[in-house]
């Protein structure tokens, strides 16, 4: 990050190790056996369950909850993994409050839904923690498939294809597999190296080779992959970060929120993580909230999250917004950055208020800041990609791109909505289409 060596109020060890351990504890601790039975007993096991319809991966939610209620959580985990091989992480990071739990009959009737997310975590953790893998690889087909990107979409596609007997090589630009699950999720949502353990568990299916430090345009080309492999799946995510587009953006202390989160997630000692005294985060999505909350948990005195539209237009769920407020983050809406002020390093950020149509009102305010994080969206990076639409790889409902033999899914493709669970579904569905085509 650009603030190294530390300066301008940015420093490490603002809190001691005891406080940091408490602050970054598990956001939603796993149910014990008794708690899971009590929670599962609240489910009506609806025949035409709205929660299933709301789940992007179509998990049979009433079935897996009934399996928990009857004392067979391992069977429940198999039901979940049949549809969502990354069900453990999705149980931690899915905005269940706006998906399955929002349409739960209990929520409609009482305002208190069945805790589907925590029940899913309870079941999936049973198998992952035990190292059990409930799937067997089919006989080898002799077909080779390249998967570019070891994030949720790529891993989901790789597992499903391997299960069908194909040989998979997964390439990823980073030094570790996992994608956003490993590098882009708040630390308090994925404790005890869960993302890494989940990848290791997924690879137990066999037939998957992971090669890290490989990216398109740097030793890899789509043309080369098409020649070497029978099919290619792209799950490369969005590697670029949008700029603020204001004067002073290049000053020390102005950083990308995704880099901050990645550095924090890979830190062995949180007391060595530097954070400012006055932190401003620009953006209104999950990444912005994750950065703002973690800045506060690291010991920043004042943290402000600035969004250009109204609170009701924020991409971050209402739960995430409330979480930020509960941790002491100030949310400022209808305001856009106008300039970063400082002599070499950021000292203040000037904001201009906007109306509901994003038109400037002429009213400005300055916030004291020694650190500013940008979280205003990411952009697609890559050379020689298939046809694009709206800045992403254009795909059909099966994940097929404009180039024969190349599929895509996840954040890099047009079909998704930037959710982990949707990326998993797209990787799975593309894998089934690839398998069908190769088997024809």
The CATH number corresponding to 242-377 among 2.60.120.200, 3.40.50.920, 3.50.50.60, 3.30.530.20 equals 3.50.50.60
pTM of full prediction above 0.85: yes
Q: What is the CATH number of domain 144-239+380-439?
A: 3.50.50.60
Judge contact between 84 and 57, C-beta under 8 A.
yes
Strands 388-389 and 392-393: antiparallel
φ, ψ at 260 (rounded to 5°): -60, -45
φ, ψ at 295 (rounded to 5°): -60, -45
**pLDDT at 4 (0 to 100):** 46
Handedness of CA 355, 358, 362, 364 (dihedral sign): positive
174: closest CA among 255, 86, 236? 236
**pLDDT at 362 (0 to 100):** 94
d(CA 240, CA 30): 35
Residues contacting residue 82 through CB under 8 Å, at least 6 positions apart = none
Could you list the mean pLDDT of each consecutive 10-residue stretch along the chain, which spans 440 residues?
A: 58 94 93 97 94 96 97 97 98 94 95 97 94 94 98 98 98 96 95 95 97 91 96 95 94 96 95 96 96 98 97 93 97 97 95 93 96 95 92 96 97 88 97 96
d(CA 125, CA 26): 14
Residues contacting residue 122 through CB under 8 Å, at least 6 positions apart = 30, 31, 36, 68, 73
**pLDDT at 2 (0 to 100):** 45
- SS3 labels along the chain: CCCCCCCCCCECCCCCHHHHHHHCCCCCCCCCHHHHHHHHCCCCCCCCCHHHHHCCCCCCHHHHHHHHHCCCHHHHHHHHHHHCCCHHHHHHHCCHHHCCCCCCHHHHHHCCCCCHHHHHHHHHHHHHHHCCCCCCCCCCCCCEEEEECCCHHHHHHHHHHHHCCCEEEEEECCCCCCCHHHHCCCHHHCCCCHHHHHHHHHHHHCCEEEEECCEECEEECHHHHHHHCCEEEECCCCCEECCCCCECCCCECEEEHHHHHHHHHCCCCHHHCCECCEEEEECCCHHHHHHHHHHHHCCCCEEEEECCCCHHHCCCCHHHHHHHHHCCCEEECCEEEEEEECCCECCEEEEEEECCCCCEEEEEEEEECCEEEECCCEECCCCCCCCEECCEECCCCCCECCCCCEEECHHHECCCCCCHHHHHHHHHHHHHHHHHHHHC
Which CA distances in Å does 333 have to 281, 313, 318, 351?
Answer: 12, 10, 14, 11
DSSP lists the bridge partners of residue 332 as 306
d(CA 305, CA 341): 18
d(CA 150, CA 183): 11
Starting at the edge strand found earlier in the chain, the sheet holding 360-368 runs 335-341, 348-354, 360-368
Ordered by start, the domain boundaries in the chain are 33-130, 144-239+380-439, 242-377
d(CA 400, CA 157): 13
d(CA 232, CA 440): 17
Domain 33-130: top CATH class: mainly alpha
Q: Which two tokens stand for residue 142?
A: 């002799």
Strands 144-148 and 392-393: unpaired
On the question of a common fold for 33-130 and 242-377, the answer reads no
**pLDDT at 7 (0 to 100):** 57
**pLDDT at 9 (0 to 100):** 83
**pLDDT at 3 (0 to 100):** 43
């Amino acid at each position: 990050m650009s603030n190294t060596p530390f300066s301008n109020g940015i420093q490490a060890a603002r809190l001691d190790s005891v406080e940091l351990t408490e602050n970054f504890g598990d956001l939603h601790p796993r149910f014990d056996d008794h708690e899971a039975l009590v929670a599962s007993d609240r489910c009506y096991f609806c025949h035409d369950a709205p929660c299933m319809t709301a789940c992007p991966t179509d998990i049979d939610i009433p079935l897996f909850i009934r399996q928990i209620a009857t004392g067979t959580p391992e069977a429940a985990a198999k039901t979940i993994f049949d549809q969502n091989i990354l069900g453990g992480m999705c149980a931690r990071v899915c905005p269940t409050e706006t998906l399955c739990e929002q349409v739960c009959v209990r929520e409609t009737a009482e305002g208190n839904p069945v805790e589907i997310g925590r029940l899913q975590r309870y079941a999936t953790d049973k198998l992952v923690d035990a190292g059990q893998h409930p799937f067997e690889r089919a006989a080898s087909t002799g077909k080779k498939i390249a998967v570019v990107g070891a994030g949720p979409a790529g891993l989901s596609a790789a597992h499903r294809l391997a299960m069908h007997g194909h040989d998979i090589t997964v390439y990823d630009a980073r030094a570790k597999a996992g994608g956003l699950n490993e590098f882009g999720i708040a630390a308090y949502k994925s404790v005890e190296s869960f993302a890494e353990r989940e990848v290791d568990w997924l690879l137990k299916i066999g037939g998957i080779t992971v090669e890290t430090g490989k990216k398109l345009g740097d030793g890899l080309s789509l043309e080369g992959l098409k020649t070497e492999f029978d099919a290619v799946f792209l799950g490369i995510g969005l590697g670029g970060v949008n700029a603020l587009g204001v004067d002073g953006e290049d000053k020390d202390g102005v950083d990308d929120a995704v880099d901050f989160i990645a550095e924090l997630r890979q830190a062995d000692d949180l007391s060595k993580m530097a954070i400012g005294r006055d932190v401003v985060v620009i953006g209104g999505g999950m990444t912005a909230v994750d950065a703002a909350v973690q800045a506060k948990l690291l010991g920043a005195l004042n943290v402000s999250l600035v969004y250009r539209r109204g609170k009701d237009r924020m991409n971050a769920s209402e739960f995430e917004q409330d979480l930020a407020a509960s941790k002491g983050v100030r949310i400022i809406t209808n305001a856009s950055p106008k300039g970063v002020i400082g002599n070499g390093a950021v000292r203040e950020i000037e904001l201009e208020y906007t109306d509901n149509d994003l038109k400037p009102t002429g009213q400005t305010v300055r916030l004291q800041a020694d650190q500013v994080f940008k979280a205003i969206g990411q952009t697609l990076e890559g050379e020689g990609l298939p046809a694009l639409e709206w800045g992403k790889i254009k795909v059909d409902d099966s994940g097929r791109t404009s180039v024969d033999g190349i599929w895509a899914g996840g954040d890099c493709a047009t079909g998704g909505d930037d959710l982990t669970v949707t990326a998993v579904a797209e990787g799975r569905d593309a894998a089934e289409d690839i398998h069908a085509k190769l088997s024809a």
